[in-house]
Amino acid sequence: MINFNQYKALTFDCYGTLIDWENGILGVLKPLLLTHNTNLDEDQILELFAEFEAEVEKGEYIKYREVLQIVIQKFGERLGFEPTAEELNSLADSIQYWLPFPDTVEALKTLKQNFKLVIISNVDDDLFAFSARHLEVEFDQIITAEQAKSYKPSLNNFRLAIKRIDLPLEHILHVAASVYHDIVTAKSLGLSTVWVNRRADQQGVITIESAISQPDLEVPDLKTLAALSLPK
């Protein structure tokens, strides 16, 4: 267990931690693939998405909207179809409708009472602005990939956040669902970390990455984190 009294700022990944990105992605890609006579199960879709996204983000920086366009193009190349212009934009266009997990908003409001809240997200400024409306709290800092000109797990995104927060590392706690994008890098910089393991009851490649790094705390959801953070 960690001592929440030592922290003044909580930094959050957004998509997968606060916003239900899996249902957002599947809501677009499942019908798109079926249109092209391709029927993959949900884990297969998510694993391909993760593979293609990571591949694109390792290259020279481009905006996240373009990343998502290329991801869909890669689905087409892998599975043997040519996406339409509308389909290429469908993931990015859908982000405005992606909703928070059921526990997110109330947990953020609770945490806001005792901590500064900061976003570190692999997204464009305009796309996060849509999500911010759903989250219903005012964040003290918002650091996007567009501002950093790089994508997590790059150290650059976290260094930019640390600089803007302007607190000693021991007063910052990073909260995220992705070990690959967040936990490993945050820990390498000396930040304490909370792994929000929302897939704890599911199997698959996406959960196995947890063995790579040990967070300081693992919780199943933000509701649990908020409860643990309350002064005793």
Catalytic residue numbers read: 13
Written as one letter, the residue type at 97 is Y
Nearest 5°: phi and psi at 217?
A: -150, 140
- CA 215 to each of CA 3, 114, 191, 195, 203: distance values in angstroms, whole numbers, following the listed order: 14, 22, 10, 6, 20
CB atoms closer than 10 angstroms to residue 1: 6
Give the residue among 183, 188, 182, 187 at the shortest CA–CA distance from 143.
182
Locate tokens 């640390």: which residue?
Answer: 162
SS3 221: coil
